[in-house]
Amino acid sequence: MVREVRKEEAIKFIKKSWEFYYSALENYQKQRYDASIFDSSQAIILANDAFCIFVLGRRASKDHKEAVKLHAQASAGKENKKDIVKDALEKRSEFGYTEKKGSEKEANLLLVRAKRFLDWAKERVE
C-alpha cells in the first residue's frame, strides 16, 4: 500500500540513503560483502523513496513492485532507473535473507551503482 508523505520529507530520505551508502563502503573495505550488498541496496531503496516523495508525495510500502511502479510514475516518461531499483530490491532479499554469499565483484558493482543512483536522485530532490 502506497503511503502519502509530505514532500519536505524527501531530503531526510536522501540523507539516510547516504548513511547506508557509507556503511556499504565501510563493509566493502572490511570484506563484509553480504553486508555491503545489503547496505548498498538499502541506500538505493531510500534514495528511490526520496525521489518518489519529492515528485509524487508518495512512497512505496514493503511491496517491491510498488517501488518500481512509483519510480516509473515519478519519472513520467523521462530518464528512469527502475532497473536499478528492481535489482537493488532483489539483491537485498537475496543476500540479506538467504544463505547465498556475496562476492567482492558483486559488492563492488552494487556499490558503484548505488553511488551513481544516489547522485542521480540527489540532483532531482535538492
Strands of the chain, DSSP E: 3-4, 58-59
- Taking the model in full, what pTM does it have? 0.89
Architecture of domain 3-125: Up-down Bundle (1.20)
What percent of the chain shows pLDDT beyond 90?
Answer: 55
Q: Answer whether 53's CB lies under 8 Å from 14's CB.
A: no
Which residues contact residue 54 at a Cβ distance below 8 angstroms, ignoring those fewer than 6 apart? 7, 10, 74, 124, 125
CA 61 vs CA 23, 32, 45, 64, 92: distances in Å: 23, 28, 11, 8, 15
Task: Kindly report, residue by residue over 51-87, the tens digit of the pLDDT.
Answer: 999 999 998 887 667 888 888 889 987 777 878 888 8
Task: Kindly report, residue by residue over 59-69, the tens digit of the pLDDT.
Answer: 888 766 788 88
